[in-house]
């Protein structure tokens, strides 16, 4: 199991979205003639405006507004052929009538601004416009009228402006992907906030604060707002996203405290708020995330102690809190995380000794523990000798760790005593322990 880093980031597949760390996902329009055979029923008493005729007029306007003649895939568009045969268009039976229910135009070289007529596609369930970097302008108000949308993907476009409070009308959304990144970079960060923040996007991004109406998306399971220009505090209403399994706010400009309401997200498996400007203490309520697998909050301005409540997260596989200003001791409760793979606390102001049982035999799945660049004192725990066979095999010791081998990194602290003889036998492994801070170190360090 140590040979493979199981990452929620790479495994979650919600609403047709598969996110893979470091891997670009492009979605070409589906083939022409992709007409759904499954009828869509409306809730009792609910009606829907429009017709296939109004849908086709809206599509023609979309084609003309977004330079359709130069799309990568435009078979049958703006022709007399049935709309169901147009590339990337899905037509389904809705309440006994054919309607356009999905547009798959990701990576299709769309160019221009979204027309207001997008709001005429009133039966639309899925709008896939991701990876169209020349899609510009703001999100039209009319888009928020598409109240039957279940999947909205605008990833890696050049849309600007603010997200309207009207987003709260899209209560059927399962997937909301507004990320401005071609990749998910949350696991590539090397622990240096100054360097990492250079990778945050500049220029054409969504801006402003996140409207509190985001909390009305109670059916949304996948929400990615990463690498946008969002500012201000995170609304308390974020805790109302009761269906959320994946929530990424990585690489934005959010500030203020992380709301305690985050602890109400009982279904959440992946949470990333790294590379922002969050301050204050980590809420103890994070210990209530009973389904969580990964927490990424590195590269902020968090202070105070690491909550002992995190030790209750039985499903947690990765904990990333590096590059903050956290103080106090490392909670002994972190040794209770028996399913943990990665603990990254690098670059804080943690003090005291390394907990007795951290990295002990009960944490047999551990592949990386980074406690470097803190103010930890005491001696090297004898138990880290068990990591030596893996560490000795690792030839590079530079850049990202090879997750096939176990690493226990303690450099840059105030440790004293002696280096275990086993480490002295493998000089490259000393990079995991040396140097310590000025005035500290080991009596048997190689000269």
Instruction: Identify whether 2 is part of a domain.
Output: no
Pairwise CA distance, residues 391 & 411, whole Å? 14
Q: Determine which of 92-96, 119-123, 287-291 has the lowest per-residue pLDDT on average.
A: 92-96
% of the chain with per-residue pLDDT over 90: 71
> 438 pLDDT exceeds 90?
yes
Compare 148 and 199 and report the one with higher pLDDT: 148
Neighbour-count burial for 326-359, b at 16+ CB within 10 Å, e otherwise: bbeebbebbbbbeebbbbbbbbbebeeebbebbb
Average pLDDT of the chain, as a whole number: 86
Instruction: Identify whether 3 is part of a domain.
Output: no
Domain count, the chain: 1
- pLDDT computed for residue 204 by the predictor: 64
Average pLDDT over residues 313-335: 97
- pLDDT computed for residue 401 by the predictor: 47
Instruction: Identify whether 267 is part of a domain.
Output: yes
- pLDDT computed for residue 231 by the predictor: 96
Q: Are 51 and 97 in contact (CB under 8 A)?
A: yes
Q: Determine which of 52-61, 155-164, 402-411 has the lowest per-residue pLDDT on average.
A: 402-411
> 38 pLDDT exceeds 60?
no
CATH number of the domain that 326 lies in? 3.80.10.10
Give per-residue pLDDT as tens, 136-184: 999 999 999 999 999 999 999 999 999 999 999 999 999 999 998 765 4
Instruction: Identify whether 445 is part of a domain.
Output: no
Q: Are 176 and 223 in contact (CB under 8 A)?
A: yes
Instruction: Identify whether 190 is part of a domain.
Output: yes
Instruction: Identify whether 427 is part of a domain.
Output: yes
Average pLDDT over residues 347-371: 91
Determine the structural domain holding residue 27 and report its residue range: 8-39+50-432
Instruction: Identify whether 278 is part of a domain.
Output: yes
Give per-residue pLDDT as tens, 224-239: 999 999 999 999 999 9
In this structure, the number of other CB atoms found within 10 A of the CB of residue 236 comes to: 13
Average pLDDT over residues 369-384: 92
- pLDDT computed for residue 427 by the predictor: 81
Q: Is 106 helix (H, G, I), strand (E, B) or coil?
A: coil
Helix or strand run (H / E) with residue 230: strand 229-232
Pairwise CA distance, residues 315 & 175, whole Å? 23
CA distances from 391 to 371, 387, 414 (A): 16, 6, 22
Instruction: Identify whether 321 is part of a domain.
Output: yes
Q: Which parts of 133-198 are beta strand (E)?
A: 135-136, 151-153, 161-162, 175-177
Q: Which parts of 284-422 are beta strand (E)?
A: 294-296, 301-302, 318-320, 342-344, 351-352, 368-370, 375-376, 407-409
- pLDDT computed for residue 6 by the predictor: 33
């Amino acid at each position: 199991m140590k040979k493979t880093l199981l990452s929620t980031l790479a495994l979650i597949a919600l609403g047709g979205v598969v996110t893979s760390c470091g891997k670009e996902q492009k979605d070409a329009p589906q083939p022409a003639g992709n007409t759904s055979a499954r009828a869509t029923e409306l809730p009792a008493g609910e009606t829907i405006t429009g017709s296939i005729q109004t849908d086709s007029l809206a599509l023609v306007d979309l084609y003309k507004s977004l330079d359709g003649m130069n799309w990568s895939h435009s078979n049958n568009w703006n022709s007399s052929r049935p709309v169901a045969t147009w590339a990337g268009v899905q037509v389904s039976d809705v309440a006994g009538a054919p309607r356009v229910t999905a547009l798959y135009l990701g990576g299709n070289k769309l160019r221009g601004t979204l027309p207001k007529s997008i709001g005429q596609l009133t039966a639309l369930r899925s709008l896939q416009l991701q990876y169209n970097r020349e899609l510009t302008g703001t999100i039209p108000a009319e888009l928020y009228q598409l109240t039957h949308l279940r999947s909205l993907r605008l990833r890696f476009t050049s849309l600007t402006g603010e997200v309207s409070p009207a987003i709260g009308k899209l209560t059927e959304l399962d997937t909301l992907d507004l990320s401005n990144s071609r990749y998910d970079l949350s696991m590539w960060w090397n622990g240096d906030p100054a360097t990492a923040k250079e990778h945050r996007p500049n220029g054409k991004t969504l801006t402003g604060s996140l409207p509190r109406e985001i909390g009305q998306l109670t059916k949304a399971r996948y929400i990615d707002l990463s690498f946008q220009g969002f500012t201000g505090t995170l609304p308390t209403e974020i805790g109302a996203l009761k269906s959320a399994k994946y929530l990424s706010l990585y690489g934005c400009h959010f500030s203020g405290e992380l709301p305690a309401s985050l602890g109400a997200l009982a279904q959440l498996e992946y949470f990333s708020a790294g590379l922002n400007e969050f301050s204050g203490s980590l809420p103890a309520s994070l210990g209530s995330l009973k389904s969580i697998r990964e927490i990424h909050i590195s590269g902020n301005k968090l202070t105070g102690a690491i909550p002992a409540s995190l030790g209750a997260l039985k499903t947690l596989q990765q904990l990333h809190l590096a590059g903050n200003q956290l103080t106090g001791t490392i909670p002994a409760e972190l040794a209770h995380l028996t399913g943990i793979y990665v603990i990254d606390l690098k670059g804080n102001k943690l003090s005291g000794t390394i907990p007795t049982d951290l990295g002990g035999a009960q944490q047999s799945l551990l592949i990386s523990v980074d406690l470097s660049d803190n103010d930890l004192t005491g001696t090297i725990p004898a138990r880290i000798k068990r990591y030596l066979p893996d560490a000795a095999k690792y030839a590079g010791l530079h850049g990202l760790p090879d997750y096939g081998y176990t690493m226990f990194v303690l450099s840059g602290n105030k440790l004293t005593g002696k280096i275990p003889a086993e480490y002295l036998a493998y000089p490259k492994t000393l990079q995991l322990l040396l140097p310590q801070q000025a005035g500290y170190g080991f009596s048997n360090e190689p000269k």
